[in-house]
Amino acid sequence: MRGCVLKRLFLGLVFFLFTINNSPFTASYAAEPPKRIISLAPNITEILFALGLGDNIVGVTSFCDYPEEAKKKPKIGGMSNPSIEAVVSLKPDIVVMTTDGNPKEFEERLRSLKIRTYVFTARRLTELPQGVRDLGTALGVKKSADKFAEDYEKTLNRLKVHNSKSVAGKKKVLFIVWPEPLIVAGPGTVIDDALQSLGAENIASGTNTAYPKYSIEEIIRRSPDMIFIGKGKGMEKVSEGLFKRLRIVPAVRNHKFFYVSDDLYRLGPRTLKGIAEISGLMDK
């Protein structure tokens, strides 16, 4: 009980310091960033943090787990089912949403409640820099957004050039998202874009779903040279059976299958790290 009171006092104090610290000084800027931002997607949360807006975020989804500070932000529900009440009660100046996972109706609902929204539409690797520039302009952090976009484009180009030099011929690759049931990264995903930007051929590109349930037979027939598989709790064990079944495939025969981080699952600041990781493995 006493701890609770102390905690409230402390929070109140922090809030008080926060408000007096912010209002008089930042008010002098012309395009002032909104003070209360809600992010409705994990990659948007990461981008907002990267643009230096972390302190202005007042609400995130339950999937927003990166960076560490994001976990401490108040949760407003999932991506596909955010709680309208939670959003409204946080009194946001703006709600940043994505076309990749948030329901369109939710945006309409927010607008009808006179809450400002911003819809982030970039979903592909090459769309990200412009997407961040536009977002930065709308949120009054144009400078850091431009820098982010520029760095991003530079690094991406460097990786592309590096790989076009080092990798002879097109490598056939496959990115496994989950082994049982077998789900792989198909066309239109950031992972597919990343693999192609490195000059590799994703053998699952030809399907018509982003994350298809894929045929094991077809993997054997298309015999990828390398297989990447998303790291996860106990993934080595869960994927044992699959790799046993794929033992005839060159990637498995030559031990060219790698457990990689989840950096590529989200289109954001970490995507490049994920591409660099794959690029490093392809050099091996």
Partner 1 sequence: MKTKFFFIIIAFLLAFASSLFLGPTFINPLALDDTTREILVNIRAPRIIVAALMGMALGASGAVLQGILRNPLADPYILGISSGASLAAALGIIGGLSIFGTFTVPVLAFAGALITGGIVGTMGWKRGGLWPERLLLAGVGISFLFSALLMLIMSISRDEGMRRAMLWIFGDLSMSDWERVPYGLSLILCGIAMSSSRAKALNALILGDDFAHSLGFTPQKERALLFVSVGLMTGASVSLGGMIGFIGLLVPHIVRFFIGADSRSLIPASALGGGALLCIADLLGRSLLSPMELPSGIVTAIIGSPYFLYLLRRKNVLSV
Q: Which of 85, 154, 158, 241 binds partner 1 (CB under 8 A)?
A: 241
Minimal distance, residue 215 CB to partner 1, in Å: 5
Min dist. Cβ of residue 220 to partner 1 (A): 6
In whole angstroms, the minimum distance from the beta carbon of 278 to partner 1 comes to: 20
Residue of 84, 86, 183, 281 interacting with partner 1 (CB under 8 A): 183
The residue range among 32-40, 113-121, 187-195, 216-224 that interacts with partner 1, by the rule CB under 8 A, is 216-224
Question: Phi and psi dihedrals of 274, rounded to 5?
Answer: -65, -40
Name residues whose C-beta falls within 8 Å of residue 95's C-beta, 6 or more positions apart in sequence.
37, 38, 40, 87, 110, 115, 116, 117, 118
Q: Which of 67, 215, 260, 281 binds partner 1 (CB under 8 A)?
A: 215
Residue 192 CB burial class (10 angstroms; 0-12, 13-18, ≥19): buried
Q: What whole-number distance in Å separates Cα of residue 220 and Cα of residue 198?
A: 23
Query: Using the rule CB under 8 A, which residue among 238, 258, 260, 281 binds partner 1?
Result: 238
CB of 245 to partner 1, least distance (A): 6
Alpha carbon dihedral 201, 204, 208, 209, in 10-degree steps, equals -120
CB nearer partner 1, residue 238 or residue 281: 238
Please choose, out of 122-130, 162-170, 239-247, 267-275, the segment that lies near partner 1 by the rule CB under 8 A.
Answer: 239-247
CB 199 → partner 1: shortest distance, Å?
A: 22
Residue 101 found at the interface with partner 1 (CB under 8 A): yes
Which long-range contacts (C-beta less than 8 Å, at least 24 apart) are formed by 277-283? 278/194, 278/195, 278/198, 278/228, 279/159, 279/162, 279/163, 279/198, 281/226, 281/228, 282/163, 282/166, 282/167, 282/171, 282/198, 282/200, 282/226, 283/166, 283/167
Q: Which is nearer to partner 1, 55 or 180 (CB)?
A: 180
Q: Determine if 220 is a binding residue for partner 1 (CB under 8 A).
A: yes
Give the 3-state secondary structure of residue 70.
Answer: helix
**Of the candidate residues 125, 190, 204, 278, the single one contacting partner 1 (CB under 8 A):** 204
Rg (CA), the chain: 22
Rounded distance, CA 171 to CA 80, Å?
36
| Least distance from partner 1 to the Cβ atom of residue 214, Å | 6
Residue with tokens 């009980």: 1
Determine if 221 is a binding residue for partner 1 (CB under 8 A). yes
71 part of the interface to partner 1, by CB under 8 A: no
Three-class DSSP category at 117: strand
Q: What is the DSSP letter of 33?
A: P
Residues that bind partner 1 (CB under 8 A): 63, 78-81, 101, 177-178, 180-183, 204, 206-209, 211-218, 220-223, 232-234, 237-238, 240-242, 244-245, 248
